A and B are shown apart, each in its own frame.
Chain A
């Protein structure tokens, strides 16, 4: 289906909202994307007509729920082009997916002196679990700095891999601050050559670029449903079957066991082994609906639309005096004249205007931007700034909204400083 923005917008109930008499301008999809009606309806239908626990009952509702839940797994498998459905583990979010790998794989495969490589672009969810392992196991965390284009330095990776201590490279597919996409294929090939596994944090990338886990050849990949126009409360961990099979369970409870005695237990096969307790069933149904909804449009059209929006945003924001777009502005903390392509979001600073003041003032006019360190304190420290303001786009945004936002920034600057 061709991507007609006004028809897309009509499918998102929240976009009809107004705030203080002005239409909502939602530019915070990198934090969470809104849900189309189709997703809300699919979840409501399950809740009203099919709600039942999965796998354990023989009655009709249990059967329908189980089918819906496993269909959702297959939908995700196809979306990522994973080889097998049991390589798809449902979690409560991207953060839990990464923690699952850190706890299950990390606890058993990392020894004192082993190392995990991270990039300076990482979100805290892909930093803290590895720092926790460092505290518990004595494993090291080694960093890939970023170059003047904001790209993780491959030289740093090469240097770290040479030590022979690196067991895992955990890296984002798309920065949630700079909108910069590292060269994953090269990084994965380098890591594999050195005998290290690779975990991809696809929290941001999942809604903005096609991902093929077999083509990438990544070993793990994590994302959340709610940034993909789906509900909160569900995430996915993809893992290569041969790796997942060797990993011990993460949480203990129902569903993850084959048998339990007074003395011990035998874990279930994949994927149940990693899905202890009642899973987020309504959310899985919602995630599948979101994937189906998105797939009616082509990636080519989605990317062309979002690129146009971001290019327009960069060109317009750069006209505002004292505004510095991070990573694409000669005056910004990352000196860069090549202006790499950014996906999904961009962040900026405004001299002598604190991001919290800016987003509060814009928020009252119905414009939703995000302020702070965006859970990327190492990156902000590197850039030498305490905080920035982020503008992120989704499939439903329009150039007119960027215009409204840019004008409001100019007005806020005047309000605070004249």
Chain B
């Protein structure tokens, strides 16, 4: 299957939940940004959390079709998820959501969104941020 499947291109051209800034309906918003230094791609996430549930997500970013589509697809999955559900998300879950074959060169593109997400939660809990090796699953 083509990496640039119609579904991926659709999310790249028309990203969901993007560019609305930190929207909050009374809850605290956590914002965090990560960058893939090898290509300069960035994703910033704004999460509203209430009772350990994600009530709202918005994000911003620049980068390749894969990193941006992955974040867009992931953002759709996150609505209403509990924090422990988010914490247990794995790279494989992201690959499954993407539904296209991710080769070794594009792993970091595909997982940039997951990386930001995990570190947004760590920031919330004032834990040390995780490195790429942990996100990718090399640790």
Task: Identify which of residues 98-125 in chain B touch chain A, using a CB-to-CB cut-off of 8 Å.
Answer: 105-106, 109
A360 partner, pick from B12, B38, B41, B106, beta carbons under 8 A: B106
Q: Give the A-B contact count at a CB cut-off of 8 A.
A: 39
Asked if B132 is at the interface of the complex by the 8 Å CB criterion, the answer is no
Task: Identify which of residues 310-329 in chain A touch chain B, using a CB-to-CB cut-off of 8 Å.
Answer: none
A357 partner, pick from B40, B62, B65, beta carbons under 8 A: B65
CA distance A1 to B71 in the complex (A): 56
Bits for B1-17, please: 1 = Cβ < 8 Å to A, else 0: 00110000100110000
Report which residue of B39, B40, B106 has the largest number of chain A beta carbons within 10 angstroms of its beta carbon.
B40
| Closest chain B CB from A402 CB (angstroms) | 24
A373 partner, pick from B3, B40, B63, B106, beta carbons under 8 A: B40
What B residues does A387 contact at CB under 8 A? Answer: 39-40
Closest to A415 in B: B4
CA distance A386 to B105 in the complex (A): 18
Asked if B66 is at the interface of the complex by the 8 Å CB criterion, the answer is yes
Closest to B12 in A: A416
Asked if B64 is at the interface of the complex by the 8 Å CB criterion, the answer is yes
CA distance A371 to B64 in the complex (A): 11
Asked if A356 is at the interface of the complex by the 8 Å CB criterion, the answer is yes
| Closest chain A CB from B24 CB (angstroms) | 30
What A residues does B62 contact at CB under 8 A? Answer: 386
CA distance A372 to B62 in the complex (A): 14
CA distance A360 to B9 in the complex (A): 14
Closest to A387 in B: B40
| Closest chain B CB from A322 CB (angstroms) | 15
A356 partner, pick from B9, B12, B13, B109, beta carbons under 8 A: B109
Asked if A184 is at the interface of the complex by the 8 Å CB criterion, the answer is no
A contact face: mostly helix, strand, loop, or mixed: helix
A357 touches B66 (CB 8 A): yes
| Closest chain B CB from A413 CB (angstroms) | 12
Question: By the criterion of a CB under 8 Å from any partner CB, how many residues of chain B are at the interface?
Answer: 17
B3 touches A360 (CB 8 A): yes
Report which residue of A356, A361, A371, A417 has the largest number of chain B beta carbons within 10 angstroms of its beta carbon.
A356
B64 touches A354 (CB 8 A): yes
CA distance A380 to B62 in the complex (A): 16
B38 touches A416 (CB 8 A): no
A357 touches B13 (CB 8 A): no
What A residues does B39 contact at CB under 8 A? Answer: 354-356, 371-372, 386-387
What B residues does A373 contact at CB under 8 A? Answer: 40
B106 touches A386 (CB 8 A): no
| Closest chain B CB from A411 CB (angstroms) | 12
A416 touches B9 (CB 8 A): yes
With contacts A360-B3, A417-B13 taken as known, whether A372 is within 8 angstroms of B63 at the C-beta atoms is: no
What B residues does A357 contact at CB under 8 A? Answer: 4, 64-66
CA distance A357 to B4 in the complex (A): 9
A386 touches B40 (CB 8 A): yes
Closest to A417 in B: B13
What A residues does B3 contact at CB under 8 A? Answer: 360
What A residues does B105 contact at CB under 8 A? Answer: 360
Task: Identify which of residues 347-394 in chain A touch chain B, using a CB-to-CB cut-off of 8 Å.
Answer: 354-357, 360-361, 371-373, 380, 386-387
| Closest chain A CB from B3 CB (angstroms) | 7
| Closest chain B CB from A137 CB (angstroms) | 27
Closest to A363 in B: B105
B4 touches A416 (CB 8 A): yes
| Closest chain A CB from B36 CB (angstroms) | 10
A354 touches B63 (CB 8 A): yes
B4 touches A356 (CB 8 A): no
What A residues does B40 contact at CB under 8 A? Answer: 373, 380, 386-387
| Closest chain B CB from A1 CB (angstroms) | 39
What A residues does B63 contact at CB under 8 A? Answer: 354
What A residues does B38 contact at CB under 8 A? Answer: 372
Closest to B62 in A: A386
CA distance A304 to B106 in the complex (A): 38
| Closest chain B CB from A384 CB (angstroms) | 11
Bits for B55-67, please: 1 = Cβ < 8 Å to A, else 0: 0000000111110
| Closest chain B CB from A26 CB (angstroms) | 18
CA distance A354 to B12 in the complex (A): 11
* B interface list, Cβ under 8 A from A: 3-4, 9, 12-13, 38-41, 62-66, 105-106, 109
10 additional A-B residue pairs with CB within 8 Å, beyond A357-B64, A386-B39, A415-B4: A354-B64, A356-B106, A356-B109, A357-B65, A357-B66, A360-B105, A380-B40, A386-B40, A416-B4, A416-B65
30 contacts between A and B (CB under 8 A): A354-B39, A354-B41, A354-B63, A354-B64, A355-B39, A355-B64, A356-B39, A356-B64, A356-B106, A356-B109, A357-B4, A357-B64, A357-B65, A357-B66, A360-B3, A360-B105, A360-B106, A361-B4, A371-B39, A372-B38, A372-B39, A373-B40, A380-B40, A386-B39, A386-B40, A416-B4, A416-B12, A416-B13, A416-B65, A417-B13
Closest 10 CB pairs of A and B: A386-B40, A354-B64, A356-B64, A357-B64, A357-B65, A387-B40, A356-B39, A387-B39, A372-B39, A354-B63
